[in-house]
Amino acid sequence: MYERKIIPNLNCGLDLIGEVLYGKWKIRLLWFINEGYQRPSELQRKIPDASRRVLNIQLKELEEHELIKKKIYPVVPPKVEYSLTEFGLTLVPVISALGNWGDEHEEHLRTVILKRFEL
């Protein structure tokens, strides 16, 4: 796995939040775990464009940042569930606000994003 050699710049809140939430699927993972989708297979079904490997890496990073916790049940086959920590729950209103902003500006955002793909 990739190991960072340069210490990140963490001088302000935006740097910190960027470091914790940087990753294409992390915000969705947090949202879906909050909605009750706790098993890795459920999360994979909710985000079919993401590979299982990438989801596992991003779940591990969220766990390292203490936003989620992983519970492994001692059964065969192994059963794993994720849940938000108390710290992770503090992000739910922020993610909700971002989603609402995206919904309010959906038409404009869709237009400017799709411009990049026009030939």
List pLDDT tens digits, range 34-45: 999 899 999 999
Contact 52, 42 (CB under 8 A): no
Mean predicted confidence (pLDDT) in 24-49: 95
Exposed, middle or buried, 93 (CB in 10 Å: 0-12/13-18/19+)?
exposed
Mean predicted confidence (pLDDT) in 56-61: 96
pLDDT of residue 43: 96
Residue 62, number of CB atoms within 10 A of its CB = 25
Contact 61, 3 (CB under 8 A): no
pTM: 0.87
List pLDDT tens digits, range 83-99: 999 999 999 999 999 99
